Structure 1
């Protein structure tokens, strides 16, 4: 994986692995609708912990059957390692590309034995050395062997040199060399000094044919390139205009037989997905709001699963806009955001609660977590926010909208999809910002416009989500806060500067995770206070309702019911009756 976080898609709300973007829907991101969620029980509010994905051993599974799932969009950029990729990009990618590294729900990475026969990590001459040995059978669909060149090419693409545009360079830019080992099937990866996060790398790999920045950046634009893939499934249909992707068993696969005859993803708005689920046309739907849970309450032969969610919904300010160029103004806007009022709307009727989100490095349930946002000096305080704006020269007009030097204190916030909870949430923010003299206009967009709108920065304020592919959040700090290499596509606030990079790299140079984590949490608070560009709102749970018997749910990274889990896609399917 090249990123720890990615955008959640519009229907899913929040980019290789690490963080990814998701469009900000109600609150959770399952299957692709990001709805707020929690326990459906009334009474005292409760949190949700752990994974809940109906794990079933292969020997207890049914061979055959079909599954149809909703997805927010089939993204124009289909390279999951590219900076324009989103959660939906990775979801589709996983079904026809190698999964050489898997992960437990708790975040423990391990090699997939179908691809990797041996993995070792050692220290040689004060340098960390990772050795990966591919199985003899491992090859791409076009017959190209998976070998050391596969690892070398993945490194070259993700270290961010020669105009490549990966979604993150963390880890890969720490590599000094990749060479053949005892045979071409063995890759020896030597880092420049010690490196603490070896297990976070190479979840995604690049075909050796993708041997230039031009190919990496453009060859997957509206083109899936199935011959460069591998795995238990292959593409049968990829209709970007019609919004349908179907995968069937791959006759070139050498590993365990895939359980299903077909897996189909259909682009759907949240309301359409719910209607389709109730009509029996799809097999899983996000049910992270009281209203959506009520809509499935009278259905037979379905089960609702509830898990903790490794994603954070957030708000970003576009500092390229004249009204947000100065730090104090951005801070005042964030101080006017009442996160509790937002979650009251998102989780209304769910009886759910959680510790407020305070970091993009770690989640509150992870060891070493600190509330960096509070440590940065943030508090919800409308009176203080107005005082800051007065001091910054923003004068309140008769129409209760501030102006400064002829610039109105106003802006647009896009809302993606037709989820009523998502719309209610942006209306809450609209009213909150009105209290400080900001005129916020809601720009309604279709769910499948999310990636284009986000990356083109056609917004003044945006609400989205960052979804994590793995448990190694501190490693990916540069993906959010660095400036110089231009690869912090998750943080589109334009509030970074070169001075931050050096401080992050100093943390990265610490030899162990135990040393890096507290240093990173302290630095994150400092960066927040110096930039005020991105603002965490909440995580929420992941809640989905599925047809009875569907097992080993959400095998892809970034989304779903299995926390940090990445399961082999061939194990997804129907449990035997």
Structure 2
């Protein structure tokens, strides 16, 4: 389960050129450090009870099971997380702490030299069907996600495939989980905990969560859905035994990226992202608005396929060399209050502990090197600005973009690749099909999206393993897989970080993908909204503390 990992389509700034900076404020500060947050913190007892929070999402949610192949879309994962038991919440530094409403304790030990984690559940924890939350829910979640039964269409087996067994402890509320080798990110597993009774057959796992959440055990539940209006409303779970939400409801409305700012200004929603210059300009000057900024794990990435010309590593490297990441970041920065960071690492954000810029020769903007790589791969330079050719075929790539996303960044990349003789066709596809019918099945040469909240590095392993379920471009290498296996089993953080950085060097050389920049966290919210805004690395804590000051 990857509750901290989500994919969301990025909508990027329209600019007039690649030089960047021309429209930027005269004085720009540094981007907020990774982990910084701004949520207007207030004690629960000082906030009024009731009210509604209205938020936007980027598409209608079809699959709510985040463990299923089509369930990795970020908004769906966020809504699901409100309705299921959360074992852990992350603090400002991204460090997990047990949620006492669900998890009384979790102890790590050994048995016969193997790592064993014993989870003790809150005895009040109960599913919406009236059954208690028990060790069997852990066992079912493991069995469905460990990859041993291919009838379950699994988004990621990472972590679950290292577990050898889940047993009953001293009572039904105690789960004993045994690993075949040490697993450093064990706290990323079973979070959220899912109801075993709604997962235990392939039919329930694959289709039982389509456009619905059949069983819930968190502080919220689905109240109403309206596919025509594209709204999903969650309301408090009256049977929840822990801290109750202050709000009466949260309404999620699917909107095109270009419509979100207008909806906020028209008082139709209570939050809007301001990470694009035009949006920031309009939102920052709006009445009844507070701008909150923070540093989230949030990467805008160009993902590269492996079919046709891209099957040659040299062509993938040429793509990376032809892209001026600094110019793209500068373009993204123009009109914002701070400079946007480029990223030289697939696992860590700038200013995050463990970050190193490993982009090297491949990640450097170098048109001459890009052309040399294409020459070496046998793609002859075209005449009069035409695409390169090989054996009579033109060097043409298809860049797939969601129709809810801006094409401004793809157009900039298209222009950059044209300078080295690569012809790029931009192909817009329906947003509701973007992941399920294109990204998830590798039906693209190039595509882009945001990877967010990958605070546990192992959440990225299925993206970068050669056989990873989320390695949509299918680019990898045995050497990378070996380093990831070693990092996952390394409980010494310094050693694990070193192994991840070694793997990162190889990912750049393989041309797996091109991390572009750390997407800024700028959120326009109503000033009377407390415990909400830019969360940084911390958890949203299922919105139970979110409320209005008056």
Q: Quote the residue 2:542 is aligned against.
A: 568
RMSD over equivalenced CA pairs, Å: 2.4
Q: Give the direction of change, closer, same or farther, for the CA distance of 1:95–1:506 in structure 2 (3 Å limit).
A: closer
Aligned partners of 2:422, 2:506: CA distance in 1, in Å?
Answer: 27
Alignment of 1:379 onto 2:364: yes
Q: Which moved more, 1:263-272 or 1:198-207?
A: 198-207
SS at match of 1:359: coil
Aligned partners of 1:285, 1:364: CA distance in 2, in Å?
Answer: 24
**Equivalent residue runs for 1:128-527 within 5 Å:** 128-163=115-150, 164-209=152-197, 210-220=199-209, 222-226=210-214, 228-240=215-227, 242-320=229-307, 322-374=308-360, 377-399=362-384, 400-417=386-403, 422-452=406-436, 453-469=438-454, 471-473=455-457, 475-484=458-467, 486-487=468-469, 489=470, 491-498=471-478, 500-527=480-507
Q: Quote the residue 1:55 is aligned against.
A: 41
CA contact (8 A) 1:304 1:545 kept: yes
CA contact (8 A) 2:260 2:272 kept: yes
SS at match of 2:83: coil
Q: Give the direction of change, closer, same or farther, for the CA distance of 1:477–1:463 in structure 2 (3 Å limit).
A: closer
Provide Cα deviations, 1:352-388, integer angstroms capped at 9, x if missing partner: 22543111211222222222222x6431100121122
CA contact (8 A) 1:468 1:564 kept: no
Aligned partners of 1:435, 1:461: CA distance in 2, in Å?
Answer: 17
Q: Offset of 1:264 from its aligned partner?
A: 0.4
Provide Cα deviations, 1:116-150, integer angstroms capped at 9, x if missing partner: 22222223432222111112211111112101011
Q: Give the direction of change, closer, same or farther, for the CA distance of 1:65–1:328 in structure 2 (3 Å limit).
A: same
Q: Offset of 1:218 from its aligned partner?
A: 2.4
Q: Offset of 1:517 from its aligned partner?
A: 1.3
Q: Give the direction of change, closer, same or farther, for the CA distance of 1:539–1:413 in structure 2 (3 Å limit).
A: same
CA contact (8 A) 1:413 1:461 kept: yes
Aligned partners of 1:259, 1:25: CA distance in 2, in Å?
Answer: 32
CA contact (8 A) 2:284 2:524 kept: no
TM-score (norm 1): 0.87
Q: Give the direction of change, closer, same or farther, for the CA distance of 1:40–1:259 in structure 2 (3 Å limit).
A: farther
TM-score (norm 2): 0.91
Q: Offset of 1:516 from its aligned partner?
A: 1.5
Aligned partners of 1:104, 1:332: CA distance in 2, in Å?
Answer: 40
Would you say how many aligned residue pairs link Structure 1 and Structure 2? 536
CA contact (8 A) 2:298 2:520 kept: no
CA contact (8 A) 1:553 1:562 kept: no
Structure 2 residue runs of 5 or longer lacking an equivalent are: 14-19
Q: Give the direction of change, closer, same or farther, for the CA distance of 1:516–1:418 in structure 2 (3 Å limit).
A: closer
Aligned partners of 1:306, 1:386: CA distance in 2, in Å?
Answer: 40
CA contact (8 A) 1:269 1:447 kept: no
CA contact (8 A) 1:123 1:194 kept: no
CA contact (8 A) 1:361 1:476 kept: no
- Aligned with residue 96 of structure 2, among 90, 97, 109: 109
CA contact (8 A) 1:42 1:349 kept: no
- Aligned with residue 531 of structure 2, among 552, 558, 565: 552
Provide Cα deviations, 1:378-412, integer angstroms capped at 9, x if missing partner: 31100121122122211223352111112211122
Aligned partners of 1:428, 1:256: CA distance in 2, in Å?
Answer: 48
Provide Cα deviations, 1:292-328, integer angstroms capped at 9, x if missing partner: 12212442221010111211111112212x1211111
Provide Cα deviations, 1:435-470, integer angstroms capped at 9, x if missing partner: 01111122234544432332243322111121124x
Aligned partners of 2:463, 2:380: CA distance in 1, in Å?
Answer: 33
Q: Offset of 1:207 from its aligned partner?
A: 1.1
Aligned partners of 2:459, 2:82: CA distance in 1, in Å?
Answer: 25
Aligned partners of 2:284, 2:515: CA distance in 1, in Å?
Answer: 32
Provide Cα deviations, 1:414-443, integer angstroms capped at 9, x if missing partner: 333456xx3322211111011011111222
Q: Offset of 1:158 from its aligned partner?
A: 2.2
Q: Give the direction of change, closer, same or farther, for the CA distance of 1:40–1:235 in structure 2 (3 Å limit).
A: farther
CA contact (8 A) 1:24 1:416 kept: no
Structure 1 residue runs of 5 or longer lacking an equivalent are: 4-15, 28-35, 555-559
Q: Give the direction of change, closer, same or farther, for the CA distance of 1:500–1:260 in structure 2 (3 Å limit).
A: same
CA contact (8 A) 1:323 1:409 kept: yes
Q: Quote the residue 1:557 is aligned against.
A: none
Q: Give the direction of change, closer, same or farther, for the CA distance of 1:562–1:477 in structure 2 (3 Å limit).
A: closer
